[in-house]
Amino acid sequence: MKKIIHCCRGLLGIRDRVMSIPLIQGGMGVGVSLGRLAGSIAKKGGIGCISTADCGYLEEDFETHPEEANLRALHKEIQKAREISDNNGLIAINAMVATQQYDDAVKCAVEDGIDAVISGAGLPTSLPSLVPEGSALIAPIVSGGRAAGLILKVWETKYNRYPDFVVVEGPKAGGHLGFTSETLDDQAKTPDILDLIREVSEVIRPYEEKAGHAIPLYAAGGFWDREDIENAIQAGADGVQMATRFIGTYECDAAQGYKDVLIRGTSRDLSIIKSPVGMPGRALMTPLLQRVKREGRIAPLHCSRCIKTCNIAKVPYCITNALIEAVKGNYEEGLFFSGANIDRLTKMCHVSEIIDELFAEMIERIPVPVKC
Ligand SMILES: Cc1cc2nc3c(=O)[nH]c(=O)nc-3n(C[C@H](O)[C@H](O)[C@H](O)COP(=O)(O)O)c2cc1C
C-alpha cells in the first residue's frame, strides 16, 4: 500500500511525492491537458492533470480502435508527465463519469501508479470501487453542497471511504457545467463561487473526523490572480483548480492554433451551449456552432463510442470530432470550451511564470519537498 499524506491543510502527498503549492491544473479534454502540461505543473509542485477523454486521438488506430488507442495513449501520457515532473508535485487524471471508457481509464491509470483520480461530469459514486484504498487519492468534482453531501454519504455507506480532497466547480468554469442553462442564463440565479465554497465546506468538514484526515477543498471556475486565490482561501477553500489560464502556455498540449483562437477570443464570443453530453457548457460561438444553430444538426460520419448517453441517430453533432478538430486548431469545425475569464487570456507564457507570479512567496515559505 502506498503512503498517502495529508499534510498542512490543502497540501497532499502520496509516497514521497508531495504538493508544495495549493494548485490543481484542471483537466481539459480533448487533448488540451495531457502529459506535457500536467508534468510541467507537477514540476512546480502542484497537481497536474491529464484528461482521459479521447486522449488517444493522435494514435494511428484511433479511428478503428479508439478504446485501445486511448488506453495506450493514457499510459504514454502518464509516463511523459512523470518524466517532466522531476518527481515533484502530483500527477492526476481527470476522468469524466459520462464517458464510456470511465472504468477502464481509471483502472489503467491506477495500474500505472497515478497519484490522484479527479472525477466529475456526473456523480462519481462508483469511484472508490475502481481505486483500491491506498493506491491513489480520489476526489469528486461537485457543483455545490447537495452533490458533495450525496457523494460523501454514498462513499461512506457503500465503501466506508472518504474523498482525499474535493473540487467545487462554480459557474465561471469552462467545459461542461454542473448547473442548468436557466441558472446560468439568469445572473440573479447564478451562484457565486465564494458562496459555494462556504456551502461545500460546511458539508465536508464534519466528515473529516470520521475520515481521520483533512479533506482539502479546491475551488474552480474563474480564478486567475493572487487576489482571486486569496478570496477563495478566505472563504474556506484550501486551494484552487485553474484551467483556462494554462491554455495560454507553451506547455499546454493543444496545437498553437487552438491557443491562438482562445487568445483572440473575447467574452462577447462566449455562449452557454447545450452540449451533446446533455449538460450545458461554456464555449466560443464558432462557425461549427453557428452551423448547428442554422441547420439543426450535423449528422456524425463516424462514432468513437465516447459518451454513455449519446444517441448517434439524434445527436446534434459529434462532440468528440468537434473537440478533436479544435485541439488541432481548426477554428471552422472545432468546439472550443473556455472559462468565463477569457478576456484575461491575452498572451503566451510558460507555466513556471504563472506559478511564480501566483505562489512565489509560498514556494519560498514551503520548501520542496514539504516536511510532513
Ligand atoms: C478547454 C477546457 C476543457 C475542459 N475539459 C474538462 C474535462 O474534460 N473534464 C472536466 O472535468 N473539466 C473540464 N474542464 C473544466 C476545468 O477542468 C476547470 O475545472 C475549469 O475550467 C476551471 O475554471 P477556469 O477555466 O476558469 O480556471 C475544461 C475546461 C476548459 C477550459
End-to-end CA distance of the chain: 18
In-domain check, residue 370: no
In-domain check, residue 18: no
Check: CB of residue 80 under 8 Å from CB of residue 291.
no
- Asked whether residue 352 falls in the same domain as residue 275, the answer is no
Phi, psi of 227 (to 5 degrees): -65, -40
**Ligand 1 center–CA 174 separation, angstroms:** 5
Model confidence pLDDT, tens digit, residues 121-158? 889 999 999 999 999 999 999 999 999 999 999 999 99
- Residues 294-317 as b or e (16 or more Cβ within 10 Å = b): eeeebebeeebebbeebeeeebbb
Label the pairing between strands 17-18 and 12-14.
Answer: antiparallel
- Asked whether residue 217 falls in the same domain as residue 126, the answer is yes
Percent of the chain exceeding pLDDT 70 equals 97
The model's confidence at residue 369, banded by pLDDT at 50, 70 and 90, is: very low
- Asked whether residue 211 falls in the same domain as residue 351, the answer is yes
Residues 6+ apart with CB under 8 A from 220: 24, 26, 141, 167, 168, 169, 170, 173, 193, 240, 241, 242, 243
Considering its fold, how many domains does the chain have in total?
Answer: 2
Model confidence pLDDT, tens digit, residues 192-204? 999 999 999 999 9
pLDDT for residue 363: 58
**Ligand 1 center–CA 202 separation, angstroms:** 24
Task: Answer yes or no: pTM beyond 0.85.
Answer: yes
Model confidence pLDDT, tens digit, residues 281-304? 999 999 999 998 998 888 778 777
Average pLDDT, the chain: 93
Task: Give me the half-sphere count of Cα atoms (radius 13 Å) on the Cβ side of residue 228.
Answer: 19
- Asked whether residue 220 falls in the same domain as residue 164, the answer is yes
Residue type, 233: I
**Ligand 1 center–CA 212 separation, angstroms:** 30
Is pLDDT above 70 for 56? yes
- Asked whether residue 137 falls in the same domain as residue 204, the answer is yes
Is pLDDT above 50 for 95? yes
- Position in ligand 1 atom list of the atom nearest CA 338: 31
Which cell goes with 305?
463510442
- Asked whether residue 183 falls in the same domain as residue 242, the answer is yes
- Asked whether residue 123 falls in the same domain as residue 249, the answer is yes
- Asked whether residue 59 falls in the same domain as residue 178, the answer is yes
Is pLDDT above 90 for 58? yes
- Asked whether residue 272 falls in the same domain as residue 139, the answer is no
Model confidence pLDDT, tens digit, residues 236-291? 999 999 999 999 999 999 999 999 999 999 999 999 998 887 889 999 999 999 99
In-domain check, residue 2: no
In-domain check, residue 6: no
- Asked whether residue 217 falls in the same domain as residue 133, the answer is yes
In-domain check, residue 11: no
In-domain check, residue 371: no
For 84: left if phi > 0, alpha if psi spans -120 to 50, otherwise beta; the answer is alpha
Largest CA distance in the chain: 59
> For 290-299, 304-313, 315-324, which range has the lowest pLDDT when averaged over its residues?
304-313
pLDDT for residue 130: 98
The model's confidence at residue 368, banded by pLDDT at 50, 70 and 90, is: very low
For residue 303, give its domain range.
257-344
In-domain check, residue 33: yes
Is pLDDT above 70 for 364? no
Residues 6+ apart with CB under 8 A from 368: 18, 20, 45, 88
Output the ligand 1 site: residues, CB below 6 A.
Answer: 26-29, 32, 51, 53, 94, 96, 120-121, 141, 169, 172-175, 220-223, 241-244, 337-339, 341
Check: CB of residue 25 under 8 Å from CB of residue 242.
yes
